[in-house]
Amino acid sequence: MLATALLVAMFWASRPEWDPEMRLWRAFGDAAIVLLYVVLALGPAARFSTAVGRMLPWRRQIGIWAATTALVHTLLILNGWVRWDLQRFLGYEFVPQLGREARMEPGFGLANLVGLVAVLWLLALAATSTDRAVRRLGPAGWKWLHTGAYTAFYLSVLHSGYFLFLHYTLSFHRDPPPPNWFRFPLVILGTLVLALQGAAFVATVRRRRAGAPSNQR
């Protein structure tokens, strides 16, 4: 819990020039992605380091905090920016010149839907991160469900990538906020997850081949 609070505080303190409301929900969102990255990186990295392997028991707790911070991020946006309005959530705003609601940013609604799916998936993973859930679902079923953490991570990257690279541009219908420094670290995190997955897969295949009897090669 303390590490999560420090991570959120770090993101909060790093963007003093932002609007306080936006600064807060973005801090929780960025912290959620970093925590989720740690969860996904521990598994493959443990194949190459025994020191990392000793951290694996913490993976469940880190995942729960990733889901918690993602939920807070979502609630802050729904209550502040979206104001619990489905039309605003999908990117529609009232335009006085037109006298009706119009979709101002085509990608906004899709990005929000992608983020919502990621959060719901994370909540499902957090709700089943117990020994009781493992017994109820069975090891195979539980493992299959929790491989969805990778899907949730990439959905989160796509969701955040839209707001980091596409939404706040010079074509935005209001003055865009200052650039977010987390843009390129986010790309690096997504790339590292892919690299770790690939490296762990190759290492696993090589070990199995090395341990296979000669007549099965």
pLDDT score of 206? 87
pLDDT score of 166? 81
pLDDT score of 215? 46
Find, among 110, 37, 101, 113, the residue nearest to 69 by Cα: 37
Compute CA 154 distance to the chain's CA centroid, rounded to the nearest angstrom.
7
Residues in the chain: 217
- Over its length of 217 residues, how does the chain's per-residue pLDDT go in tens digits? 889 999 999 999 999 888 889 899 999 999 999 999 999 999 889 888 888 888 888 999 999 999 999 999 999 999 988 889 888 898 887 777 767 777 777 788 899 999 999 999 999 999 999 999 999 999 999 988 998 899 999 999 999 999 888 876 655 556 666 778 999 999 999 899 889 989 988 988 888 888 755 444 4
pTM: 0.86
Q: Do 38 and 53 contact (CB within 8 A), yes or no? A: no
pLDDT score of 107? 84
CA pair distance 113, 61, nearest whole angstrom: 26
Domains of the chain: 2-168+180-208 (1.20.120)
CA pair distance 193, 42, nearest whole angstrom: 10
Tell me how far CA of residue 39 lies from CA of 35, 36, 54, 149, 206, in angstroms: 6, 5, 13, 9, 24
Question: What are φ and ψ of residue 102, in 5° steps?
Answer: -140, 155
CA pair distance 128, 120, nearest whole angstrom: 13
CA pair distance 77, 64, nearest whole angstrom: 20
And the tokens for 45?
């990295």
pLDDT score of 5? 95
Q: Which helix (H) or strand (E) holds 197?
A: helix 183-211
pLDDT score of 18? 86
CA pair distance 146, 59, nearest whole angstrom: 12
Question: What are φ and ψ of residue 4, in 5° steps?
Answer: -65, -45
pLDDT score of 214? 47
